[in-house]
Amino acid sequence: MNLTILFPIAGLLTLGAAALLWLGVRQRDITTMQQRKPGVGALVTASILLTLLALVRLNPVTEHGINFTLAAGTASATLLIQLIYLYGIVRHGVQGLGLFILPVTALPLMILPALPEASTPNWVETSSILEDTHLLTSLVAYAVLTLAAVHALMYLMLDRALKRKRLSFLMQALPPLFDIDRYMFAQVRGATTLIGISILSGLSWQWMAYGTFILWNHKVLLALFAFGILVLLLVKRQKNEWPGRTSSRVILAAYVLMLLAYFGVKLITAWLH
């Protein structure tokens, strides 16, 4: 049995969890959404277990180090996002985040077997502790920044609705603007720290392996740009110089850079070939 088929099944389970939340929005009943917490949690947990099973069978960890295919890399990042979201359900209950993050995580799982070179080995291969640290912190940083980007999108939508005084039930189902802002910047701080560790560990590995720094490639440059943007954002936040709308747009820009650095350019190159 080709276990990559488990990824689309996990994606369908995730869409099922999203459907439970969206039905609550359609029925215009926030209480009903909260009552669906066990169902949403169960479906997300089942999706996580299937993704983990399929990922383990792809043998991403060998005796020589981490060896990711494109499928393994995509699945690992998606798995981390779902784990963080599941923790949020347990800690804070069902909130509007799932309306957006669940479809976002379902999509890569659904299309994963069709990705170019999804089963080709050595898409990413590590051979040292420093390189392992670089890869793992990069994945966690991407997962955390994904959550920050979804919160940024929610902030822009809710802020626009409040200014127009048109609060649909979807907008009412979202957390208060203050909470969105608080969660968003907590995630930005975490992602910035992790990206910094990832960059330092990556540069240290380059120096140990090659005796030089390999800076002029798309991954390093895009990661450095994203890191610089996030640091600037945190400085502006400390000084209260940027409003929430500007901060949200900056977070989305940094996320696009990270997405291109970790997956976008590799994916485009694979499709071109």
Same structural domain, 181 and 149? yes
Same structural domain, 165 and 242? yes
Mind listing the pLDDT tens digit of every residue in the chain (273 residues)?
A: 456 788 999 999 999 999 988 887 776 666 666 677 788 899 999 999 999 998 888 777 766 667 777 778 888 889 999 999 999 888 877 678 888 999 999 998 998 887 765 545 555 666 677 777 878 898 899 999 999 999 999 999 999 988 888 777 778 778 888 989 999 999 999 999 999 998 888 888 777 766 666 666 677 788 889 999 999 999 999 888 888 899 999 999 999 988 887 766 555 555 444
Same structural domain, 102 and 194? no
Distances (CA, A) of 23 to 28, 102, 126, 231: 8, 14, 44, 39
Closest to 114 measured CA to CA, from 8, 256, 249, 210: 8
65-68 and 124-125 strand pairing: antiparallel
> Can you tell me the distance from the alpha carbon of 273 to that of 184, in angstroms, rounded to the nearest whole number?
38
Same structural domain, 100 and 151? no
> Can you tell me the distance from the alpha carbon of 58 to that of 62, in angstroms, rounded to the nearest whole number?
10
Domain final position from 118, 146, 165:
118
Per the structure, how many domains does the chain have? Answer: 2
Print the domain residue range for 141. Answer: 126-273
Same structural domain, 201 and 264? yes
What residue type is 31 in one-letter code?
T
pTM of the model: 0.85
Same structural domain, 132 and 167? yes
Contact 43, 13 (CB under 8 A): yes
Domain final position from 118, 138, 153:
118
Same structural domain, 98 and 158? no
Q: At what angle do helices 70-92 and 129-164 cross, to 10 degrees?
A: 50
Same structural domain, 113 and 138? no
Same structural domain, 143 and 190? yes
Assigned token pair, 206? 């380059």
Bridge partners for 66 per DSSP: 61
